[in-house]
Structure 1
């Protein structure tokens, strides 16, 4: 009863207030904060309050007088920020002032501007069945697939520290009281709302504008789930089929133009064999040539810092635009004890943490098609591996609450350092043999040299050396039998190390320019010197640390001593770099890297920066 009275009062005072209230963004809705935090000098609040009380009438004046503050707040909320162009757009859209809406958008106001409670003008048009406004907004570029961010009036009020009654009244007024007060509408697109209103005309307009009929809201419901009208269901079902076909066609065309291997190589240096193996398996899955009853499972083997985790991340980025949900990383070193199985799938009923769910099951429920990375899987307790055995076999997992989660479409990647020593040693031996063979061939082309560095692990080595190591670690053949592909990551070749060093130097060059306005250049032999810092046990990380130790530390010291300043040009050069090619290095001084400053004048030249002053405590670190 009170709610209806408030709505009626709101409508009666709409015209009166709209002419006089100008409020900036409101952080907390109450009469006191409105008066104290915002510039409301032009409003005579006593007179405004009296106007409300006059509308209440003698019978309800005393009973509902306490609600006048909420009404005032609701009106203020509706008009808060109306000096802001986005808020004006929503106001004009609600009033059906089409010419002003068009003028505002053409003047630069974003057509998809949101109300501070979460919706856009297109949502308002769909719910209020305003066909003319909807056509105008779509013509001006409105996105038909934007979801409403409004949850429930109480949740919004608590989150943004608003008065619950004023949030409710604002929502009801904006959508003419056509939506349920208690329902959660987060994620609902204009198509959801149009179907809810059963407006065929607006549904067709949205579909023609590219609305996605397969989008699910926060409750997991698609637009078709909101109607029992068979004709409308048929329209939406047909649209879903066509949309999925078109989406798959576009995806296939994009894959042909830009293959997965090419995408991965943009972010990962080397590891051609690993990239090709993973890409081939994913290509089979994407094109329907895979076993639908079992998920895709990989085991990545190799030394630390060699690209295993990065490849998993890039696969997730390729398959899912939202990497936060589409990539699940589980550090298996946290599951070394038997009782930690509960943390994996959730505690059983009656135990602490039962309602929280497991780390894996909870995330797989949110995204059943995710890429799941089990990092350092050899460290997990055998009971955890038993759980994973069920997951890899049938693609399902039962959590602590007894609920079965279907996740056959997920991709599971395990990483391990098992056999990394023998794999690295074997790869280095093969690479040395290939280089020796290439030397006898007297190959001079760069392509021939790079081809000589590409090696393949033999089947005999995998079966006779690697598999026994894996079997001893996992203690069961059936676990290894669930793995579709064992992917081998090999030590970097010389050319790959040069690319890694160059990439790292470019990173620090960008940082120097961005933070200090310093230009950083280097000689080609600097790359060779830094590449010698590669440690096969630490992979690309050893290159990163080498650059920081021998280059970045010197830059920091020179900056601290004010030997370099903004706008200068610094060159990295290497001394004794030619000695790297000598066979006998016993009497050769190790190469060093020094900083040189460009002195501009008649003849520009580089001058060495002296960092070896005895009074500096850091000097000893630069004596090679």
Structure 2
């Protein structure tokens, strides 16, 4: 539990990568799509005689096809109460029967539920270590007032996410740039990002209320989009090395080509030719 943008969903992706060697080993179910009573049947599939009977359920089919995975129920506070009846069997017995009568085994999955319950109390406390125990008790009280005891009793652990501090965004900027670099590796484009540019990006993306999501948009606006436009306009080419610096006076990011693979190759050929023509010592 915790406020928006603090990394609850990202943790699930990291777990899938660490435990199952792929961020794709995750089934994400947005509980806002299961806020109506009739939508609950989509989890396990329609019963015989109803439309969609042969398609299976979104939850049961995903686990049946990929039994080793992370199952994420996102924003549980938006789910219809009937959803919790389905979850009780999964959390207790590790199995679920779909609409076609097949038993689906959940014993090789990790089930994670996220919620924004208590987000206001967590955000108000910030990262103050002296308020952490008070916040934990308030969040647990809110959970008990919202969810039934038999449901809470089946959860192994409740993890409370604190709001992100300004210093943590410096690390997240580096992670975002690392992902961008991996996408550019196929074109042999290398990014050289100085610390000042990282600080400017973190400053532009820092918003205690919304967490790290604004930072992702800042990286898209100041790095991804300009690089994409440069490639389309042929200002940048495959094999280029791009220096990303900060203009502190204007608080903006500058992207400059500092090395070009084709130029380096031509220079190497020139040097090789000069060496071949040089008289022997």
Q: CA offsets per residue over residues 139-158 of structure 1, 9 Å max, x none?
A: xxxxxxxxxxxxxxxxxxxx
Question: Structure 1's 598 and 328: CA in aligned 2 closer, same or farther, altered over 3 A?
Answer: closer
Question: Structure 1's 425 and 317: CA in aligned 2 closer, same or farther, altered over 3 A?
Answer: same
- Contact 1:349-1:400 within 8 A present in 2 as well: yes
Alignment match of 1:359 (pick from 58, 75, 88)? 58
Distance 2:118 2:232 in 1: 45
Whether 1:522 aligns to 2:222 is no
Distance 1:319 1:418 in 2: 28
- What does 1:252-267 align with in structure 2 at a 5 Å threshold? none
- TM (norm. structure 2) is 0.74
Alignment match of 1:531 (pick from 169, 189, 202)? 202
Distance 1:396 1:599 in 2: 57
Distance 1:390 1:568 in 2: 54
Question: Structure 1's 512 and 312: CA in aligned 2 closer, same or farther, altered over 3 A?
Answer: closer
Per the alignment, residue 305 of structure 1 pairs with 5
Alignment match of 2:248 (pick from 575, 582, 587)? 575
Q: Which runs of 5+ in 1 are unaligned?
A: 1-300, 434-455, 577-589, 601-624
Q: What SS class does the counterpart of residue 48 from structure 2 fall into? A: coil
Question: Structure 1's 373 and 555: CA in aligned 2 closer, same or farther, altered over 3 A?
Answer: closer
Q: What SS class does the counterpart of residue 488 from structure 1 fall into? A: coil
Q: What SS class does the counterpart of residue 132 from structure 2 fall into? A: coil
- Contact 2:166-2:206 within 8 A present in 1 as well: no
Q: CA offsets per residue over residues 337-393 of structure 1, 9 Å max, x none?
A: 111122112222322223333222233344555432212222211111122123223
Whether 1:340 aligns to 2:39 is yes
Per the alignment, residue 500 of structure 1 pairs with 172
Question: Structure 1's 575 and 405: CA in aligned 2 closer, same or farther, altered over 3 A?
Answer: closer
Per the alignment, residue 214 of structure 2 pairs with 542
- What does 1:11-30 align with in structure 2 at a 5 Å threshold? none
Whether 1:457 aligns to 2:137 is no
Per the alignment, residue 426 of structure 1 pairs with 125
Q: What SS class does the counterpart of residue 491 from structure 1 fall into? A: coil
1:519 Cα shift?
Answer: 4.8
- Contact 2:242-2:255 within 8 A present in 1 as well: no
- Contact 2:196-2:245 within 8 A present in 1 as well: no
Per the alignment, residue 274 of structure 2 pairs with none
Per the alignment, residue 468 of structure 1 pairs with 141
Question: Structure 1's 422 and 343: CA in aligned 2 closer, same or farther, altered over 3 A?
Answer: same
Q: What SS class does the counterpart of residue 486 from structure 1 fall into? A: coil
1:487 Cα shift?
Answer: 1.0
Q: What SS class does the counterpart of residue 487 from structure 1 fall into? A: coil
RMSD, matched Cα: 3.4
Q: CA offsets per residue over residues 12-71 of structure 1, 9 Å max, x none?
A: xxxxxxxxxxxxxxxxxxxxxxxxxxxxxxxxxxxxxxxxxxxxxxxxxxxxxxxxxxxx
Distance 2:55 2:229 in 1: 50
Distance 1:364 1:498 in 2: 37
- Contact 1:303-1:536 within 8 A present in 2 as well: no
Per the alignment, residue 413 of structure 1 pairs with 112
1:419 Cα shift?
Answer: 2.1
Whether 1:320 aligns to 2:20 is yes
Larger strand percent: 2
- What does 1:63-142 align with in structure 2 at a 5 Å threshold? none
1:408 Cα shift?
Answer: 4.3
1:322 Cα shift?
Answer: 7.4
Alignment match of 2:97 (pick from 398, 402, 418)? 398
- Contact 2:5-2:211 within 8 A present in 1 as well: yes
Per the alignment, residue 254 of structure 2 pairs with 594
- Contact 1:504-1:547 within 8 A present in 2 as well: yes
- Contact 1:308-1:489 within 8 A present in 2 as well: yes
- What does 1:478-489 align with in structure 2 at a 5 Å threshold? 478-489=150-161
- What does 1:370-409 align with in structure 2 at a 5 Å threshold? 370-409=69-108
- TM (norm. structure 1) is 0.37
Per the alignment, residue 279 of structure 2 pairs with none
Question: Structure 1's 598 and 468: CA in aligned 2 closer, same or farther, altered over 3 A?
Answer: same
